[in-house]
Structure 1
Amino acid sequence: MAQPSLLIAGCGDIGSGVARDRLGKGWQVVGLRRNPAKLPEGVEGRAVDFADPQSIAKLGELSADYLLLTLTPAAYKREGYNAIFDEGLLALLARFKRPPKLTLFVSSTGVYDQADHQWVDETSETAPSRFSGQALLTAEQHIAATGWPHSIVRFSGIYGPGRNQMINKVRQGECTPATPLHYSNRIHRDDCVGFLLHLLDRAEAGEEVGQCYLGSDSAPTPIQDVQAWLAAELGVPYRQEGQPVARTGSKRCDNRRLRESGYTLRYPDFKQGFSAILPSLEAD
């Protein structure tokens, strides 16, 4: 019996984590990215620039049992986001002559614009004011418009090994000022990979997969509290000499649907997640 096939478009860190697991289970995995040399061993790689429809057209006809879209623009610029999540995504979807059993699209909580500490979930209004959120919401709509079986996963701030921006800011004394209070939401990189694998497993077992999930841990926390805790753990002074958070609004993400799907978070709060990272930093 043929093993399931998985095509990962934009196979970076998260996609590579998914790929390694599926390869270990005997799946056939194809990875599309700008530089296929960076793909994990065992992944069939193909070079493509998702901002260039002609590059996508050169792929020819595509097919896979499962499609995972983890697209990432090269830079935080409006043109790049629009090129990938609008024209580029449509060109890629057009390469499929038959729908996959499940299409997973990695989106972001940036599609929300709430800023008054309120709770948001999968049913909350999506009216992003930033170009990045607008582009992602457009991509979500393109996925839904296919009519294919799909699931959109809106991850909050991803942290984990190699993603040390906040730790570096704390070390440098560039913590967020005490006011305004700003709730932050995050999810460990390993839980991003784990939850995507969980959805693939459910689909392969013939179990229901929801069309949208909010991927975040169980403890939305003011960023000021997170940074104060990190400073104490790192043994450095807690200096709030940074800038207020500007890119995202202050909201609290409700992950109830994720938990009710049967997935158990490996790192349900920031203390557990960062505690798994800090020892390796000290070893360096």
Structure 2
Amino acid sequence: MKAEQNRILIIACGDIGGGVAEHFLAQGWAVSAMRRNISQLPDGVEGIAADLTDAQSMAQCPPLAADYVLFTLTPARGDGGYEAVFQQGLERVLAKLSRAPKRIFFVSSTGVYDQVDHEWIDESSATEPSRASGQSILKAEQRIAEAAQEQGCNYSLIRFGGIYGPGREHMLNKIRTGECAPQEPLHYTNRIHRDDCVGFLSYLIEQDAQGAVLENCYIGVDTEPASIQEVQSWVAEFIGVPYRCNGEAVQRTGSKRCRNQRLLASGYRLLYPNYRAGFTQILAAPAQEKPEITG
């Protein structure tokens, strides 16, 4: 008897979700994905055209059902952009689930941590974000946990650090124009390559499908947190430009060093275990490939 086909639904399917979609299409899974413009979805994905920030659009959305639901939300533009997506939009999607999935996966952020003294943190560390963005994401995490309990299913939160990889040039542009962060105050950053985001999410979903026991929360970062000053200095030397610190101090939440022991204990092996490996791959790529570098 032929095994039943696994089904995954990706909500707000952008770059990371698209990578996961391509992975599972190659594995023979049925993949559906929701986004406003479904023409940008990978070939083979069943598109669901809906805007989760628009109540009328979501009212017209068909019932949603899958074995696995992956949320890869990004904030809407403008004031209230986080609340529009992470509270109101999330609630609309949850209301459309016609049956409980086996597990809900929610892409979160290390922005839910607000530690400032370069301390090491892990999944059990206090989550007391002072910024509105972190507070909104934390509320969404809590709602996912509540929804999973209500529906009788499992869930996993994946708190990614700063994602870098092909496609964005914000930090690279700063380095080229001499707008690196000043030497003081020292500010630690945590990052993960885009391909490891896709790889880790895909790995966890596959592990669950194979019956492995997953944690409810993972920090998704590489193995070597480093100060923004160290990273920018290294990149400047790599691309052959002067390292000039004429920019503003980092304004993002806190300065902490995130541990990834739980990620490693899951059995996943990072493609890019530190910033040097990741940025070497990006910066050595052909010129037509735009590098994404975020702090």
With the length of structure 1 as denominator, give the TM-score of the two structures.
Answer: 0.97
> Per-residue deviation at 1:281?
5.3
The aligned counterpart of 1:93 is: 94
Question: Could you tell me how far apart the structure 1 residues matched to 2:117 and 2:48 are?
Answer: 44
Q: 2:135 corresponds to which letter in structure 1? A: Q
Q: Deviations over 1:45-97 (max 9, x none)?
A: 1111111233222113110011000011232x441110111121111111113
The aligned counterpart of 1:230 is: 235
> Per-residue deviation at 1:227?
0.5
Q: Deviations over 1:138-193 (max 9, x none)?
A: 10000000212000000000001112221221111110000000001100000000
SS in 1 for 2:229: helix
Question: Could you tell me how far apart the structure 2 residues matched to 1:258 and 1:85 are?
Answer: 24
Question: Could you tell me how far apart the structure 2 residues matched to 1:282 and 1:90 are?
Answer: 42
SS in 2 for 1:42: coil
Large movers: runs of 4+ above 6 Å: none
Alpha-carbon RMSD across the aligned residues, in angstroms, is 1.2
Q: 2:124 corresponds to which letter in structure 1? A: T
> Per-residue deviation at 1:280?
1.9
For residues 68-83 of structure 1, what are the structure 2 equivalents within 5 Å?
68-75=70-77, 77-83=78-84
Tell me if 1:188 matches 2:193: yes
SS in 2 for 1:245: coil
Question: Could you tell me how far apart the structure 2 residues matched to 1:223 and 1:122 are?
Answer: 22
For residues 97-176 of structure 1, what are the structure 2 equivalents within 5 Å?
97-146=98-147, 147=149, 148-176=153-181
Question: Could you tell me how far apart the structure 1 residues matched to 2:140 and 2:55 are?
Answer: 15
Q: 2:251 corresponds to which letter in structure 1? A: A
Q: 1:67 corresponds to which letter in structure 2? A: V
SS in 1 for 2:70: strand
Contact 1:155 1:214 in 2 (8 A): yes
SS in 2 for 1:153: strand
Q: Deviations over 1:116-151 (max 9, x none)?
A: 101111111111111111110010000000212000
Contact 1:51 1:80 in 2 (8 A): no
Contact 2:76 2:85 in 1 (8 A): no
Contact 2:76 2:84 in 1 (8 A): no
Q: Which runs of 5+ in 1 are unaligned?
A: none
Contact 1:175 1:242 in 2 (8 A): yes
Equivalent of residue 241 in structure 1, options 242, 246, 270: 246
SS in 1 for 2:118: coil
SS in 1 for 2:47: strand
> Per-residue deviation at 1:283?
6.0
Contact 1:78 1:132 in 2 (8 A): no
Contact 2:225 2:257 in 1 (8 A): yes
Tell me if 1:53 matches 2:55: yes
**1:227–1:281: structure 2 CA closer, same or farther, 3 Å change rule?**
farther
Question: Could you tell me how far apart the structure 1 residues matched to 2:234 and 2:137 are?
Answer: 32
Contact 2:192 2:222 in 1 (8 A): yes
> Per-residue deviation at 1:235?
0.3
Equivalent of residue 13 in structure 2, options 1, 11, 20: 11
Q: Which runs of 5+ in 2 are unaligned?
A: 290-295
Contact 2:25 2:31 in 1 (8 A): yes
Equivalent of residue 277 in structure 2, options 263, 272, 275: 272
Q: 1:102 corresponds to which letter in structure 2? A: R
Question: Could you tell me how far apart the structure 1 residues matched to 2:233 and 2:15 are?
Answer: 28
Tell me if 1:213 matches 2:218: yes
The aligned counterpart of 2:292 is: none
With the length of structure 2 as denominator, give the TM-score of the two structures.
Answer: 0.93
Contact 1:214 1:255 in 2 (8 A): yes
In the alignment of these two chains, the number of paired residues is 283
For residues 11-30 of structure 1, what are the structure 2 equivalents within 5 Å?
11-30=13-32
Q: 1:36 corresponds to which letter in structure 2? A: I
Question: Could you tell me how far apart the structure 2 residues matched to 1:69 and 1:272 are?
Answer: 28
